[in-house]
Amino acid sequence: MDVEIGRGAEAVITKSVFHGRRAAVKMRSPKGYRHPVIESRITASRIRKEARVIRGDQGGRSQDPCDL
């Protein structure tokens, strides 16, 4: 069972289990005022950026640890 742990303008974050491990799930809600193509490009770009931060690959900018 998923438990909501946060809600913002862009997404809802819930606690969940993924392949037997605890996980945080971020569900983005599409914005009705954006064109679908633009919406998908923005979403894909944000997902890639978040993945880089989680991996720690910040292009040499910052060496701060990421605690998610």
Q: Is 16 exposed, middle or buried (0-12, 13-18, 19+ CB in 10 A)?
A: middle
Cα distance between residue 27 and residue 30, in whole Å: 10
Cβ proximity of 21 and 37 under 8 Å: no
The token duo for 59 is 């292009």
Predicted confidence (pLDDT) at residue 45 exceeds the cutoff of 90? yes
- Tens of pLDDT, residue by residue over 6-28, are 998 889 999 999 899 988 899 98
The token duo for 47 is 């997902």
pTM score, two decimals?
A: 0.62
